[in-house]
Amino acid sequence: MYIFNCEQHLAKGGIKIKTINTSVITENVARMCQEANFNLGEDVMEAFKKGYEQEVSATGKDIMQILIKNAEIAREEQVPMCQDCGYAVIFLELGQDVRIEGGDLYEAITEGVRRGYTDGYLRKSIVSHPLERKNTGDNTPPVIHTKIVPGENLKITLAPKGGGSENMSQIKMMKPADGVEGVKDFVIEVAKNAGPNPCPPVILGVGIGGTMEKAALLAKEALLREIGSENEDPEMAKLEEELLEKVNNLGIGPQGLGGRTFALAVHIKTYAAHIASLPVAVNINCHAARHKEVVL
């Protein structure tokens, strides 16, 4: 095994290496936990307004208005928009020319979550063991997904995830022969089955391809995309539009009380698949579609 010394590398290749201290990471994560829970994104607000205009049910319209008002109160008074302040899900994009100093990177993030949820009066919803179910008291640990990328930046995205909508998410290992029609049927089935439980209006993240866990991750990553942005793949953009219309035509509506605004958006992400498989995951995000990012 060869171990390259960082400084030698620098001297020979002239590669720039950025150093980031873990205390900066902790501070940023703590701040983002609060900001994400207090300030709903502009894209979601815009989607609420559009939903309000388009909704055909009177109760549905009232609900859309209530959600706009709720987000405004949360922002003005700096209180959580929803009492379920979520599981702290974190996506890291770590540039390969970044050096972390001052301690353990994951521990620094965990400390950020701990401080953010404690200082921000956010609800602690995590139990340490799925069967013993004792609350950890500080909303840790987070779930961290790390990607190593070229460059000298560290991008941290925090997406607190509510339990109600997570519980209605599903994954299915389909047959390649099921094709696009099979995928559509599955997405519609998931929406129907979810009904009022995930606090509609929702955003559907659909991951197609990869392996089982890859499909689930794609679905979650798809939820991070800005609402109203176009899918880079024109075929998938079309499929997103078709699925949005189909799930809204189920009549579930806001809060499942009847109407045409079950989903604000459908976002699809794909990846190469095995010749024998067609994994499809649908991750549902409620209207409290919270995320914040920072580039260090």
- Residue 62 binding: pick among ligand SF4, another protein, none (C-beta 5-8 Å cut-off by kind): another protein
Check: CB of residue 20 under 8 Å from CB of residue 109: no
Q: How far is the CB of 222 from another protein (least distance, A)?
A: 20
What region does 184 belong to: left with phi over 0, alpha with psi -120 to 50, or beta? alpha
Region of 203 (left: φ > 0; alpha: ψ -120 to 50; beta: rest) is: beta
| Residue 59 in the binding site for another protein (CB under 8 A) | yes
Give 121's contacts (C-beta < 8 A, 6+ positions apart). Answer: 79, 80
Termini Cα distance of the chain:
32
256, interface contact from another protein, ligand SF4, none, CB < 5-8 Å by kind: another protein
Of 82 and 218, nearer to another protein (C-beta) is 82
What does 79 interact with, of another protein, ligand SF4, none (CB < 5 to 8 A by kind)? another protein
Rounded to whole angstroms, how far apart are CA atoms 35 and 201? 22
Site membership for another protein, residue 80 (CB under 8 A): yes
* Residue 82 binds to another protein (criterion: CB under 8 A): yes
> Do 265 and 203 meet the contact criterion of CB atoms below 8 Å apart?
yes
Out of 33, 36, 47, 67, the residue judged to bind another protein by CB under 8 A: 67
Positions 233 through 292 that interact with another protein (CB under 8 A): 249-253, 255-260, 286-288
CB of 291 to ligand SF4, least distance (A): 13
Residue among 39, 54, 70, 211 that touches another protein (CB under 8 A): 70
Q: Which residue has the tokens 């049927």?
A: 185
Choices 15-23, 57-65, 103-111, 214-222; region in contact with another protein by CB under 8 A: 57-65
Determine contact, residues 98/20, Cβ cutoff 8 Å.
yes
Query: Running DSSP on this structure, what letter comes out for residue 103?
Result: S
C-beta of residue 200 within 8 angstroms of C-beta of residue 254: yes
Strand runs labelled E in the chain: 18-21, 87-95, 98-101, 143-149, 154-161, 170-174, 202-210, 263-273, 278-285, 292-295
Among positions 81-100, residues that touch ligand SF4 (CB under 6 A) are 82, 84
Q: For the chain, how many residues are written?
A: 296
Q: Please select the residue that binds ligand SF4; options are 164, 182, 195, 256, rule is CB under 6 A.
A: 164
Binding mask 83-122 for another protein (x = CB under 8 A): xxx-----------------------------------xx
**Cβ–Cβ contacts within 10 Å for residue 10, how many?**
13
Is 198 among the residues that bind ligand SF4 (CB under 6 A)?
yes
264 interacts with ligand SF4 by CB under 6 A: no
Contact assessment for residue 227 and residue 31, using Cβ atoms and an 8 Å cutoff: no
The residues binding another protein (CB under 8 A) are 56-59, 62-63, 66-67, 69-71, 73-74, 77, 79-85, 121-125, 135, 162, 164, 167, 195-197, 199, 249-253, 255-260, 286-288
The residues binding ligand SF4 (CB under 6 A) are 82, 84, 162-165, 198-199, 286-288
